[in-house]
Amino acid sequence: MGARHWSSNLLFLIIAIGTEAGIANVWKFSYLAGANGGGLFVALYFLALFLIAIPALMAEMLIGRHGGKSVVGTMHVLVTRDGIAPFWKSFGALATASVILILSYYFVICGWMLDYFVFGLRGGFKDIDSPGAASAFEQMLSSPARMLLFSGIIIAATAVVIARGINKGIERVSGVLTPLRFVILFVLLIYSAIFADFGRAASFLFSVDWTKLTAGVVVTAFGQAFFSLGIGVGVMMMMGAYMKREYSITRAVFTVAVAQGLVALIAGMSIFPLVFTYGLEPTQGPGLIFVTLPVAFGQMPYGQIFGTLLFLLLSFAALTATIVIQEPIVAALEEYTSWSRPALAYSTGLVIWLMGFVTVLSFNHWSDVHPLRWLGIESTRTPFELLDYLTSNLMMPLGGLMVALIAGWALSRSAVRDELGLGDGVCFKLWYAATRYLVPVAILVIVCSVV
């Protein structure tokens, strides 16, 4: 991989925000807030963002820029040039494996967004009721061909963008789609403010009831803040590798983290007014997006139009995330093989699409398949649920822990200080202490609570 850089700091920020403020910020944040006390969850989420997520994201990005190569290549550079222990090379393998497994099911979920956008274009949201919405969702999940088709479209679009490279591909597409996403989101926010119960939603998201504080709510909020940023899988390390030396990592990370948090709040303020207006359930998990909201759009003025807009927004969010998430795989293979970038983009996309069969079949033909039942552990999880559990609860936390340990303990203090450009003042000392102690402890607590 030759020397590549983002064309400008603004484009870098747009791409990073577009990646971090993905579909999880629109749908997962909303239903987790709904299930965990609303404003209390939001308060804990932003506390975690500043205490552990921002320091960890700074650590991952500085490692990437310090190495200047793919995730695998960067770890090799750190071992040979900086003298860190050879053991840390294992992070490159772990991060790459994590991204491949995550994409194998993430593309399927992204396909759901595109499927529902097409559903909206065909008039599917018009006058839809609860049984109709539940039936539509079940019909999609019961059709392997349908899910493979729409996930395949997202994968193909992702491969086309990656094949064109950083500047002509990722920058051009994200530079257009990310601002367009935010325009659509603000349109949906205005729509909810005019036609729905905006005041109740604001009270739900911003009023903190400390009597609902439990260890479970704290862990959930901290976990969402940390892992919604994709820390531990090398994506932001790759972003850092393409970052010019004159760009400030600290300013970039604060901008990206705060922006994605605000996007999550705006999404919540766009969604919950619709839910409360029609007395629907705000704690329904993924069904909040695919079952609850279609019912609201079916009853509201112009709901057909704005329901379709929501899933267009989510489809754009899917694509702007996947083109960056798949980049570390292609970049690593580009360094260690003689294949061209287009060949690698299309071939890795095909492999990931084939791996997606496991997730697709888990919702229908393999819904009664429980691979670990014979061991007597996780005996009720489907193949998809095991993949999600493995990546979310084991691989990503382990990767995040390794990032903190590499930046906080393996690399020299002077190396990370110079990369951050903070000098040796209070800000650097606070970050260094958080990265060395607070972040690892927080990750271990989160893991112990969910494993």
Judged on CB neighbours under 10 Å (0-12, 13-18, 19+), 156 is middle
- CB neighbours of 87 closer than 8 A, spacing ≥ 6? none
Rounded to the nearest integer, the mean pLDDT of the chain is: 93
What is the model's pLDDT at position 3? 63
Asked whether residue 233 is assigned to any structural domain, the reply reads: yes
Q: What is the pLDDT of residue 230?
A: 87
What three-state secondary structure class fits 134?
Answer: helix
Return the pLDDT at 6: 96
**CA nearest to 346, candidates 108, 210, 164:** 164
Mean pLDDT confidence for 185-203: 93
Q: How confident is the model at residue 211 (pLDDT cuts 50, 70, 90)?
A: confident
pLDDT score at 86: 97
Count of structural domains within the chain: 1
pLDDT tens sequence across 342-360: 999 999 999 999 999 999 9
* Amino acid letter for position 291: V
Q: Average pLDDT, stretch 269-294?
A: 83
Q: Residue for token digits 């500047």?
A: 167
Position 1 scores a pLDDT of 54
Average pLDDT over residues 367-373: 87
CA distance 4 to 1: 8
Q: What percent of the chain has pLDDT over 90?
A: 77
The single-letter code of the amino acid at 445 is V
User: Residue 29 sits in a domain of what CATH number?
Assistant: 1.20.1740
The alpha carbon of residue 389 and the mean position of all alpha carbons in its chain are separated, in whole angstroms, by 15
Lowest mean pLDDT among 51-55, 111-115, 263-267: 263-267
pLDDT digits (tens, 9 = 90+) for 382-412: 999 999 999 988 999 999 999 999 999 999 9
Residue 120 lies in a domain: yes
What pLDDT, on a 0 to 100 scale, did the predictor assign at position 204? Answer: 86
The C-alpha atoms of residue 312 and residue 285 are separated, in whole angstroms, by: 20
Chain centre distance of CA 359: 18
326 occurs within a structural domain: yes
Neighbours of 244 (CB within 10 A): 12
pLDDT of residue 304: 95
Residue-level pLDDT at 375: 67
Task: Decide if 125 is inside a domain.
Answer: yes
Whether residue 253 is contained in a domain is answered as yes
**Geometric angle at alpha carbon 285, from 352 and 294, rounded to 5°:** 90
pTM here is: 0.94
pLDDT value, residue 377: 66
Evaluate whether residue 2 is within a structural domain: no
pLDDT of the residue at 428: 96
* Residue 165: Cβ-neighbour burial (10 angstroms; 0-12, 13-18, 19+): middle
**Burial class of residue 210 in the structure, from the number of CB atoms within 10 Å of its CB (0-12 exposed, 13-18 middle, 19+ buried):** exposed
Q: What pLDDT was estimated at residue 210?
A: 86
pLDDT tens column, 39-62: 999 999 999 999 999 999 999 999
Distance CA 118, CA 121 (A): 5
Tokens of residue 403, six digits? 């990032």
Instruction: Please check the confidence at residue 2 and state whether its pLDDT lies above 60.
Output: no
Evaluate whether residue 4 is within a structural domain.
no
- Which pair of structure tokens corresponds to residue 371? 């691979």
CA distance 238 to 332: 10
Where in the sequence is the domain holding 139, given as residue range(s)?
A: 9-450
The answer, yes or no, to whether residue 185 has pLDDT greater than 60, is: yes
Residue 255 lies inside a defined structural domain of this protein? yes
The stretch 405-425 carries a mean pLDDT of: 95
Q: What are the pLDDT digits (tens) for 312-350?
A: 999 999 999 999 999 999 999 999 999 999 999 999 999
